[in-house]
Amino acid sequence: ITNNTGADILLQTIGWAIGDYLLTCPTKLFAMSVHKASENTRVFEYYFNTKFTAGAQLFCSDLMGVCHYDDVYLAFGLPFQEYDRYGRREREVSAEMIKAFTSFAWEGKPTVQSGITNNTGADILLQTIGRAIGDYLLTCPTKLFAMSVHKASENTRVFEYYFNTKFTVGAQLFCSDWMGVCHYDDVYLAFGLPFQEYDRYGRREREVSAEMIKAFTSFAWEGKPTVQSVVISIIGLVVGRDINNAGLSLIKEMEGDWRADYYYDEIGQKTIGYGHCCVYHTCDQLHPPLTEAQVTQLLRTDLAEFQNCVQNAAPGLNDNQFAACTSFAFDMGCGTFNGSHVLSNIKAKNFNAAAKAFNEYVSVGGRVIADLVKRRKREAQLFRS
């Protein structure tokens, strides 16, 4: 928020702050108290991000984001009782929510979309377990500590960074080759070990180490993070393989027209370029209107984690196969790709079956989506070529 921030953004931000203060934070504190009173009690959280169609919401106007309490009306099936007030989209989401909560009531556990099935390979299963243990032992306690620091003094600023560099083969201390990025590995790069132990680290680690040292030094001097340096420079270096032009063109075509200025997507999230969402990625250093070259670079940055996902899960693909899988992962999510028949067939070296498997992922909430049919067909064609 600056003096130049528009009224719509200001109102959204105030709305989020009020919602967190009045609803989200008290709910989480209550959940923590319930669990603390009885450690055998399991408490779950879900994330609701459906913005109602214009005029359907009870409390939130069109310019505001997703409204607190709106999930309640969908969970209790109001869209099926008040057809003139709700649209088809709300009825679809309502049906999904009723199904999820009913399943939870019967089974006592949430229907988690982890991408893990009975057919998931041992390597993906172990990776998922590793991430869960890392979250439980390291990530979550660190975030709780950060919240406590900020709560003790609201003028204290607490920042977070995302590190996704996988060391070259044999360089990691704790994590073997099949595992994802290892907790603590960022410490060695931040303290410059790749420059002290040349035989153990490669050029890639030294490049990332230099970027991290630069970023942390700047932070120490200026008291604020160099967000674009950490996010764009490091992610750009960690991806061992870039998508080819055929894959990039396919993604651009499927994502639709790019936007040079900020806009709000169908669920009220601030977005720019080819669907670059400012809720999940920083937009602080962007200065619209953007050029086509800048938008393309932003898309490449967004693709980085999915390129890394595909490369880790399926090394050895040719350029078009890699590009098709990256497009799929970018659209459907890395978790879906890791649990997909596309990947399982790739691992079985059955590439014809892998190409056909793209066409299995064309529906949302049980409904076939024409755009997904078109995209999966194009990805399968690219994979075969």
Residue-level pLDDT at 177: 59
Q: What is the topology classification, in CATH, of domain 245-255+291-384?
A: Lysozyme (1.10.530)
**Confidence (pTM):** 0.42
Residue-level pLDDT at 141: 82
Closest Cα to residue 183, out of 239, 139, 236?
139
**Domain coordinates in residue numbering, the chain:** 6-107, 118-155, 159-233, 245-255+291-384
Residue-level pLDDT at 62: 54
- Rounded to an integer, what distance in angstroms lies between the CA atom of residue 319 and that of residue 76? 48
- Rounded to an integer, what distance in angstroms lies between the CA atom of residue 191 and that of residue 332? 36
For the segment 151-190, what is each residue's pLDDT rounded down to a tens digit? 777 667 777 776 766 665 444 555 665 566 777 778 888 8
pLDDT in tens, the chain (385 residues): 667 767 766 776 776 677 677 777 777 777 777 767 766 677 777 767 666 654 445 456 555 566 666 777 777 777 777 766 677 777 777 877 887 777 777 777 666 555 555 666 666 666 667 777 777 777 778 878 877 777 777 667 777 776 766 665 444 555 665 566 777 778 888 888 888 887 777 777 787 888 888 888 887 887 766 644 433 333 333 335 678 889 999 998 888 888 888 887 666 677 888 878 776 666 767 788 888 888 888 888 788 778 888 888 888 899 999 999 999 988 887 778 888 899 999 999 999 999 999 999 888 767 888 888 999 999 999 999 8
Residues 6+ apart with CB under 8 A from 197: none
Residue-level pLDDT at 124: 64
